[in-house]
Amino acid sequence: MDMRVPWPVIGLVVGLALGFAGAFGGAGAFFLVLFLGALGFVVGRVIEGSLDLGQVFSTGRTGRRPR
């Protein structure tokens, strides 16, 4: 039985809970909860190790300097 901690799901739940705690009602609250949920999911993936932020924000340079 695999007993790994599902960090992305935990991050998603925490982000959603913070969103609900921070805003009640309206379209603004919906987008705030959506954003915080997505942010929590990404943080969970980083903690889990399945997402490398260095590769995500890489500039794609090959080591050559621009002229």
> pLDDT means per 10 residues in the chain (67 residues)?
74 76 69 80 82 75 59
What's the pLDDT score for residue 12? 82
Q: Which residues contact 40 (CB under 8 A, 6 or more apart)?
A: 11, 12, 13, 14, 15, 16, 18
What's the pLDDT score for residue 1? 57
- The DSSP code for 64 is P
Distance of CA 56 to the CA centre of its chain: 12
CA nearest to 7, candidates 38, 29, 31, 40: 40
Contact 11, 36 (CB under 8 A): no
What's the pLDDT score for residue 36? 79
